[in-house]
Amino acid sequence: MSRPSVFDGETADGGIQGVVVGIVTDNEDPKDLGRVKLQFPWRDADDESYWARVATPMAGDEYGAYFLPEVDDEVLVAFENGDIHNPYVVGSLWNGKQQPPQQNDGDNDVREIRSRSEHTIAFDDDEDGSITIQTSGGHEIVVDDSKNTETIAIRDDSGKNELTLDSSSGTVSITADDELELAAPTVRIDGSKTVDIDGGTSVEIASKNTIDLSSKARLDISSSGLMGIDATGPLTIRGAIIQLN
């Protein structure tokens, strides 16, 4: 029994040697196998292939590299044993209408993955070196290996809210345009040398129950202006020696 042809009214006569160019016409595989349908420019425009599997760098049981060609993408197609009924997409092609996301400046330092919506992962192999992950809206993560200024930065599209880890200086900086909030059942701030809390206008410390200020050596509370101590209940001052001046 002869197999039905991929094209109406035809049968598969002989094999197709080598590879051919195809245009993706459908990528909604009803079996969710990551297959696409193709139209071959050297065939009639209404001729469409069987579902073609797509070769990827890695494929396994619900894992692998998932990059499905878009409709109208130009792809390179091979055929199992030359049989036109069994096409495989072995790669994608740029052309005069669909051009690369980057231009080669001669150094060929940049490798980039860019989605249809312009989410990007860029690898820059120049002298400094960096990896940038950026959304189409401008939010980004930048890992920068520039000499003496190695940093990892997470910033929003405004550039006003940022978390930076600076390996060269050993600092972690968090910058917020309006408000910085830390929330957890327990929040611990531990400085092996010094903890500085500075409010340009005011510093407020409040608790619904108890606030403890203690020091194993010396505790100084001072004000360059007025200072008030007020309690709605008893006020106790206790010390081995109390000096009031």
- Residue 163, domain extent: 110-175
Judgement on whether residues 83 and 115 belong to the same structural domain of the protein: no
Residue 13's pLDDT band, with cuts at 50, 70 and 90, is low
User: Among 42, 38, 39, which Cα is nearest to 54's?
Assistant: 38
| Cα–Cα distance measured from residue 47 to residue 68, given in angstroms and rounded to the nearest whole number | 21
- The two three-digit tokens of residue 183, written as one number: 């929330």
With beta carbons less than 8 A apart as the criterion, state whether 38 and 49 touch.
yes
Judgement on whether residues 76 and 114 belong to the same structural domain of the protein: no
Calculate Rg over the CA atoms of the chain: 33
- What's residue 218's pLDDT? 86
**Mean local confidence (pLDDT), 201-218:** 87
pLDDT at 5 over 70: no
46 Ramachandran zone, left/alpha/beta (phi>0; psi -120 to 50): alpha
CA distances for 110 relative to 105, 129, 130, 143, 206, angstroms = 9, 10, 10, 14, 52
pLDDT at 185 over 50: yes
Judgement on whether residues 129 and 155 belong to the same structural domain of the protein: yes
User: Among 71, 89, 82, 94, which Cα is nearest to 35's?
Assistant: 89
Residue 9's pLDDT band, with cuts at 50, 70 and 90, is very low
- What's residue 14's pLDDT? 62
pLDDT at 44 over 60: yes
Characterize the bridge pairing of strands 120-124 and 162-166.
unpaired
In a domain, residue 64? The reply is yes
In a domain, residue 48? The reply is yes
pLDDT at 192 over 80: yes
In a domain, residue 145? The reply is yes
Number of domains observed in the structure of the chain: 2
User: Amino acid letter at 203?
Assistant: V
Judgement on whether residues 148 and 83 belong to the same structural domain of the protein: no
In a domain, residue 46? The reply is yes
Residue 179's pLDDT band, with cuts at 50, 70 and 90, is very high
Model confidence over 135-175: pLDDT tens digits? 999 999 999 999 888 999 999 999 999 999 999 899 999 99
